[in-house]
Structure 1
Amino acid sequence: MVAIDPKFDTAVRQEHAGRFGLTRSDQRFLLFALGALFALRLLALFWWPFTDSTEARYAEIARKMVETGDWVTPQFDYGVPFWGKPPLHTWLSALGMKFFGVGTFGARVFIFAASLGVLSLIFTWVRQHRGADQALVVTTVLTSSLMFFGASAFVMTDMVMVLGTTLSMIGFYNCLSDSPARSAWGRWFFVGIAIGLLAKGPVALVITMIALVPWLALTGRWRELHGFPWLSGLLIAAALTLPWYILAEIKTPGFLRYFLVGEHFQRFVVPGWQGDLYGSGHQQPKGLIWVYAGATFLPWSLFFLALLSRPGSCVNEVTGNDRGWHSYLALWVVAPLILFTPAANILPAYALPGLPAAAVLLVSLWAQVRGQPGWWGRRATAVAIGLVGAAFLTVTILARYQPESVTNRSERALVIAAQSYDLDVQITYWGGRSFSAEFYTRGRVKFTERTATFDIFADNGLRDAVAIPRAVASEIAPYLGPRFGPAGRFGHRILFVEDLDQGEAS
């Protein structure tokens, strides 16, 4: 391949930096939209309850970390190690609950901070290479995309990993650019790798390499790797990651084998993988990740369709004189999709690492191919942002004032109802485990599938409450005896509460 002169590449970027000029009214609208989306997401931190199973599970693991004081080994249950993921996201949620109290805000606030970190990195990077106007548009597009907005404060591994992959991709590009801080950016690349390794494991490194290796081959910039701070960078990455991995294996032998082989190989290549210690595999048709990617970037993925009316221009931008920029973004977008194409067990969130680049690529191609946004572009942008904001606002308000209409998978309302009878009530769930019930009872909940468990209720000295699925309530409720009466229906469960006075009278 013919190598691209970095100085020429910089000149091309500067030449196009002003082609996406915004009027003051456009800027005010986008700033207002960002402020409104920020306020809405902040409300959801408080109002949206934890739902089963993903977010509630990770929140409960973090709560156990705070309660037990064990900051090395996350616990799936008391005394049962959670080997499924590294602990960085758990540390963030646990620290939030340590500082702000055990609740939805504490568990989510530092995950939210990670998403703000991603937005700040993207804004600064695009402003440096494409100007402030494009940076503002990109930030708004990314913030209002379906998956990014929803995951921006979701207690899970993915957003923290995205912070790491975004930092690595920006650090690598800036290190190879004509920048006075090349060495510093190169070291930030390795910090991003460390964040990814502590957030989700080697998959973060693999996604990054899938994007970078083809880009180096395409642009012929292999020689510039000689100036990369390999020694100091690798030492930084090792110092940040190896201590925990070593301690985790020493403390709970078998962790590395399960995590590296099971979670990073068998989970993705074995359909319906049965080795999952903490749930079940998500068996999906192979290649579905590409469909997920389009859905997660809604409504902005629809704007890519408008660019298809000029396919030749788009191809020229990705492969022409400015290919160093657009090809970098395109490979960044598709890297996680390539990795998970042959995977049998996937989730929509697996496309999340490519969304920051998708936002930059869309806006940059639009600026190069279509120029400044005209009346249609401004109106369509306003409608898209308005629809996303209105949808999330409606759901957030319903979660606060009519939770039963949107949060059937959360046990918060049931726990509150049971505790209204007695704060020390002992709640027992018939059937499968509920992590949200564990979280909202601070771990003081039991799960059973044996009616013999009900026999000890009379002698335990506590007021008991039993949550039974509606489908089997008529069969199971008679085993509770006359002391229990229905206290309400919550989602797909009916709550039965013990009447202590009736028990004493009998």
Structure 2
Amino acid sequence: MKQTVPPEATAPLWRWLALLLGLLLLLAALRPLSVPDEGRYAEISRWMLASGDWLTPRLDGLPFFHKPPLLHWLQAAAMGVVGVSAWSARLVPAAAAVLMVASLYLAVRRVADAALARRAALVLAASGVFLVGGQYVNHDMLVASFIASAIWCFALALLHGPRPHARLARLGFACCALGLLTKGLIGVALPGLVLLAWISWARLWPRVLRLPWFSGLLVFALLALPWFVLAGQQHPGLWSYLFGAQQFGRYTGTVFNNQHGPWFYPAVLALMLLPWSFFLPFSLKTLAEPGQAAPDTGANQLRVLCWIWVAVIVVFFSLPRSKLAGYVLPVTPALALLAALGWQRTMATRRHGERWFALLALLPAAAALALTLGPGRDTRRLSTDVAPALAARLQPGDAVYVCGGYPYDLPFLARLHAPLIVVQDWPLLRSRTGDNWRRELFEAGDFEPEAARRILQTPAQFAARDRHQRAWLLAPSGQAPPPGWRSVRAGLRWTLHASAPEGPVAPEHESLPCGDQHGGKQRQP
């Protein structure tokens, strides 16, 4: 079933992959952090490294439990090795994208033929999924790689024969544990649902009973459970918040941002995999020739698994109203294999087919370059123009206040060693604010109320501050500084003000530009 290929035949594959990986790493170094996502998650990892607190992910010094910590552990480790930068933060999603391509290649190579494995790996690597998703700092690419790897491991273990391959199965349990540590329950639920549907279709239940359940669940428990136990002991209410509010609540809720119809994910997937998505329909035709049963080959077994894989996950994420493109990244290895099958059917035997493949592979690369360097990038929400000024002037003990929004990227860029003091009418916001940065902060503060009282201050607390302490204020640009402050650096989104003790003393209700001038909505984390 498995085809043996001489080493020289695989050389073009590795040259192509090395070229695409080099392009990915170059793109990851060419743009600033996007906000809110990249600023948020890169800063949580930097703070973990700087503070030495590897148990609790923190946003602005407050416990942030929207997701488990594996992404931040890996990013903090990468920053510790190569230094703190946007590029080092992006090494983890880049490595996850490589893992996704490698697991696809190895899985297809094991069951089908090497030519199909090479084609599928190149389709995935020469796509926006790899070149764009692999340079974006959030949890989506990492959890998608673990979910895909878990599905491949269990499927290959069950296809091994009447007695499943024990080591592959244990590796599948490990991937599920790492997925759980990355983004919660979907790291287990999605592989489980896909495999449940496929096993039922393939009638493999007798083999399921022979999986190494005891040792596999032991591996899963040893990897996944220690953090949940230790963090839950230190922060009561963690489990109900993480699994209840942030998992089930977001899945079933109707008040979160980014609401789209059922058309959303099919359109997103077609766009993510361009130009290879045009070849997807042709993979359907190879299920069986007219009037014949589908051949029981390795390629056909994987083909059916992939269509089930795509259908289950797309339906799963289409049910909630809130939808984000990154959620369906776990289906892209399956789509890449299906597109490769479609290519093999329509183009593999044609003259100059490989030249056409190379030309088509240039399209995603050009699109990724355009998205990274093009004039369409929105820099108006960034703090890249004021962060260096703050970093150059900041001294130990200085307080940094912010009102009128939250600059997600500024603590990372300025390498702050103390949280920003965020000035808002917090008691009022608790009853009025929606799915935005304010809710992120005051819900994080609920885990450590004492720290929250210092970090999340009201205008009255701001007015009563110690006037002898040197302080800095970030406020929306285009507004005059409040009494007692002088402007130091004006940027597109933020203006940096310095305290001026010799200036007029602000009254108790001094006027601050604390309204969010750029709207309250944001990407759902």
| Gap regions ≥5 residues in structure 1 | 1-9, 274-280
- How many Å separate the matches in 2 of 1:451 and 1:319? 73
Q: Secondary structure at the match of 1:413?
A: coil
1:329 counterpart = 2:286: no
Count, aligned residues:
460
Using the TM superposition, name which of 85-94 and 440-449 deviates more: 440-449
Counterpart pick for 1:221 among 204, 225, 246? 204
1:128 counterpart = 2:118: no
1:374 Cα deviation after fit = 2.2
1:312/1:395 CA distance change after superposition, 3 Å: closer
1:35: which partner in 2? 18
Counterpart pick for 1:411 among 383, 397, 400? 383
2:55: which partner in 1? 72
Counterpart pick for 2:266 among 290, 298, 314? 290
- How many Å separate the matches in 2 of 1:380 and 1:480? 66
1:122/1:426 CA distance change after superposition, 3 Å: same
Q: Quick check: 1:336–1:350 contact (8 Å CA) kept in 2?
A: no
1:375 Cα deviation after fit = 4.3
| Gap regions ≥5 residues in structure 2 | 425-457, 504-525
Q: Which amino acid aligns with 1:185?
A: L
- How many Å separate the matches in 1 of 2:201 and 2:377? 52
Q: Which amino acid aligns with 1:442?
A: R
1:152 counterpart = 2:134: yes
Cα displacement string for residues 428-455 of structure 1 (whole angstroms, at most 9, x for unaligned residues): 5441112101211223544445888589
Q: Which amino acid aligns with 1:392?
A: A
- How many Å separate the matches in 2 of 1:479 and 1:63? 32
Q: Quick check: 2:485–2:497 contact (8 Å CA) kept in 1?
A: no
Q: Which amino acid aligns with 2:310?
A: V
Using the TM superposition, name which of 122-131 and 83-92 deviates more: 122-131
Q: Quick check: 2:261–2:321 contact (8 Å CA) kept in 1?
A: yes
Q: Which amino acid aligns with 1:232?
A: S
1:488/1:314 CA distance change after superposition, 3 Å: farther
1:31 Cα deviation after fit = 5.0
**Matched ranges for 1:472-491 at <5 A:** 473=478, 476-477=479-480, 479=482, 483-484=486-487, 487-490=489-492
TM-score by length of 1: 0.80
1:178: which partner in 2? 160
1:501/1:202 CA distance change after superposition, 3 Å: closer
1:480 Cα deviation after fit = 5.3
Q: Quick check: 2:82–2:88 contact (8 Å CA) kept in 1?
A: yes
Cα displacement string for residues 80-108 of structure 1 (whole angstroms, at most 9, x for unaligned residues): 22121111111111111222222223322
Q: Quick check: 1:62–1:91 contact (8 Å CA) kept in 2?
A: yes
Cα displacement string for residues 55-92 of structure 1 (whole angstroms, at most 9, x for unaligned residues): 111111112211222211211331x2212111111111
- How many Å separate the matches in 1 of 2:361 and 2:273? 13
1:193 Cα deviation after fit = 1.0
Cα displacement string for residues 341-397 of structure 1 (whole angstroms, at most 9, x for unaligned residues): 211122100110010111112212432x33625247545433332122123234445
1:483/1:164 CA distance change after superposition, 3 Å: closer
1:366 counterpart = 2:343: yes
Counterpart pick for 2:359 among 383, 406, 412? 383
Q: Which amino acid aligns with 1:267?
A: R
Using the TM superposition, name which of 127-136 and 188-197 deviates more: 127-136
1:312/1:496 CA distance change after superposition, 3 Å: closer
Q: Secondary structure at the match of 2:482?
A: helix
Q: Secondary structure at the match of 1:412?
A: coil
Counterpart pick for 2:411 among 425, 438, 443? 438
1:197: which partner in 2? 180
1:229/1:423 CA distance change after superposition, 3 Å: same
Q: Quick check: 1:272–1:282 contact (8 Å CA) kept in 2?
A: no
Cα displacement string for residues 130-175 of structure 1 (whole angstroms, at most 9, x for unaligned residues): 3333222212211122133212132211222122212211211221
Q: Which amino acid aligns with 2:306?
A: L
Q: Secondary structure at the match of 1:477?
A: coil
Q: Which amino acid aligns with 1:327?
A: V
Q: Which amino acid aligns with 2:480?
A: A
1:105/1:394 CA distance change after superposition, 3 Å: same
Q: Quick check: 1:484–1:499 contact (8 Å CA) kept in 2?
A: no
**Matched ranges for 1:159-170 at <5 A:** 159-170=141-152
Q: Which amino acid aligns with 1:288?
A: F
1:176 Cα deviation after fit = 1.6
1:3: which partner in 2? none
Q: Which amino acid aligns with 2:315?
A: I
1:460: which partner in 2? 469
Q: Quick check: which one's helix share is greater?
A: 1
1:27 Cα deviation after fit = 7.0
- How many Å separate the matches in 1 of 2:133 and 2:322? 20
Counterpart pick for 2:316 among 339, 348, 360? 339
Report sequence identity in percent: 27
- How many Å separate the matches in 2 of 1:332 and 1:188? 19
Cα displacement string for residues 382-424 of structure 1 (whole angstroms, at most 9, x for unaligned residues): 33321221232344456xxx8x95533332233125546x354
Counterpart pick for 1:349 among 322, 326, 330? 326
2:294: which partner in 1? 320
Using the TM superposition, name which of 90-99 and 281-290 deviates more: 281-290
Cα displacement string for residues 301-348 of structure 1 (whole angstroms, at most 9, x for unaligned residues): 23325x28xx64456599712442211111122332121121112210
- How many Å separate the matches in 2 of 1:71 and 1:316? 56
Q: Which amino acid aligns with 2:469?
A: N
1:277: which partner in 2? none
1:48: which partner in 2? 31
- How many Å separate the matches in 1 of 2:331 and 2:407? 32
1:212/1:392 CA distance change after superposition, 3 Å: same
Q: Quick check: 2:131–2:368 contact (8 Å CA) kept in 1?
A: no
2:434: which partner in 1? none
Using the TM superposition, name which of 377-386 and 435-444 deviates more: 377-386
1:483/1:64 CA distance change after superposition, 3 Å: closer
- How many Å separate the matches in 2 of 1:333 and 1:218? 15
RMSD: 3.5
- How many Å separate the matches in 2 of 1:239 and 1:418? 44
1:376/1:268 CA distance change after superposition, 3 Å: farther
1:230: which partner in 2? 213
- How many Å separate the matches in 1 of 2:124 and 2:261? 28
Q: Quick check: 1:191–1:237 contact (8 Å CA) kept in 2?
A: yes
- How many Å separate the matches in 2 of 1:117 and 1:372? 26
TM-score by length of 2: 0.77
Q: Quick check: 1:290–1:341 contact (8 Å CA) kept in 2?
A: no
1:303/1:348 CA distance change after superposition, 3 Å: same
1:194/1:377 CA distance change after superposition, 3 Å: same
1:482 Cα deviation after fit = 8.3
1:94 counterpart = 2:103: no
Q: Which amino acid aligns with 1:110?
A: V
Q: Quick check: 2:147–2:179 contact (8 Å CA) kept in 1?
A: yes
